[in-house]
Structure 1
Amino acid sequence: MSIKKSGSAVWQGGIKDGKGTVSTQSGVLQNVSYSFAKRFEGEAGSNPEELIGAAHASCYSMALSLILGEAGLTAERIATEAQVALEEVEGGFAITAIHLDTVAKIPGADEAAFQDAADKAKEGCPVSKLFNAEITLQAKLEG
């Protein structure tokens, strides 16, 4: 099976004075603006790193749900945040690390089973497999 989805971006102008828009095939994002200031100077608005973080967090949460299901467990809630580190390196900038922080409420799960599933999801998530960056995880099971 092969599934293809797309996102697109349009950029106009120079790197510091230019601006762009980003859209998704589904239309969830439609001409959302991004710019140098939004990416590097803390101006409010979207940027590639937050979009990557959202993609990774959602993919990881789904992967964890799958692995829990295979173990006969169903989560009431999985909440994941992906913190994406963009750093200046030799030759420009690179995403050097992603830290996943997940909190899950899973009736009947014990800590060992949860941590095992959390680690398997980190390794097995398709978005995790995409990155050359170090990917770390902190997983917390709620009572």
Structure 2
Amino acid sequence: MAADKHASVHWEGAGKTGKGQVSTETGALKDYPYGFASRFEDDKRGTNPEEIVGAAHAACLTMAFAFALEKEGFTATRIDTKAAVRLAKDGEGFKIDRIALELDAAVPNLEEAKFQQIAAAAKAGCPLSKALASVPEITLKATLAG
């Protein structure tokens, strides 16, 4: 079942003044711009690696949670997940030092304790959580909607 998924980047210029474009094989991102300003400043005209990692992690957790619910005999009517990825100074460079995940779901007939257990297991089992295990802090705030 293993299958490679592909993405590519084209970059021109120096680090601070250069510009890049990110593309994915599905076309979800097609020559999407990124650069210094969209990564280290507040320029919203492009993306950055950290928000792409956050989106991927949130998507992975959401799907893992949906599968975990199904395995336990539950189905969510909705799942909304957010990720905040923090890029911090690390000596002469940078590192991702925290990912804060927030999962909010409506799951009929599921008690809070079981919900938290399933959410924590989904976070631990999510392939992106495993891939990002070197991040010192990955938190999950899971909220079961009433």
CA separation in 1, counterparts of 2:29 and 2:123?
26
1:86 equivalent in structure 2 = 87
Pairing of 1:8-87 with structure 2 (within 5 A): 8-44=8-44, 45-87=46-88
**Which amino acid letter does the alignment assign opposite residue 140 of structure 1?**
T
1:95 equivalent in structure 2 = 96
Instruction: Report the CA distance between 1:97 and its aligned residue.
Output: 1.1
CA separation in 2, counterparts of 1:83 and 1:127?
14
Tell me the SS of whatever aligns to 1:123.
helix
- Superposition TM-score, scaled by structure 1 size: 0.98
CA separation in 2, counterparts of 1:81 and 1:120?
17
Q: What count of residue pairs does the alignment treat as equivalent? A: 143
CA separation in 1, counterparts of 2:96 and 2:117?
26
Tell me the SS of whatever aligns to 2:128.
helix
Instruction: Report the CA distance between 1:91 and its aligned residue.
Output: 3.7
CA separation in 2, counterparts of 1:89 and 1:52?
19
CA separation in 2, counterparts of 1:108 and 1:10?
49
Cα-to-partner distance string for 1:49-82 (whole Å, 9 max, x where unaligned): 1111100000000000111111100000010001
Say which of 130, 133, 138 aligns to 1:135: 138
Q: Which sections of structure 1, spanning at least 5 residues, go unmatched?
A: none
Instruction: Report the CA distance between 1:90 and its aligned residue.
Output: 1.9
Identity %: 48
The CA RMSD over aligned residues, in Å, is 0.7
Structure 1 residue runs of 4 or more that deviate by more than 6 Å after TM superposition: none
Instruction: Report the CA distance between 1:28 and its aligned residue.
Output: 1.1
Instruction: Report the CA distance between 1:120 and its aligned residue.
Output: 0.2
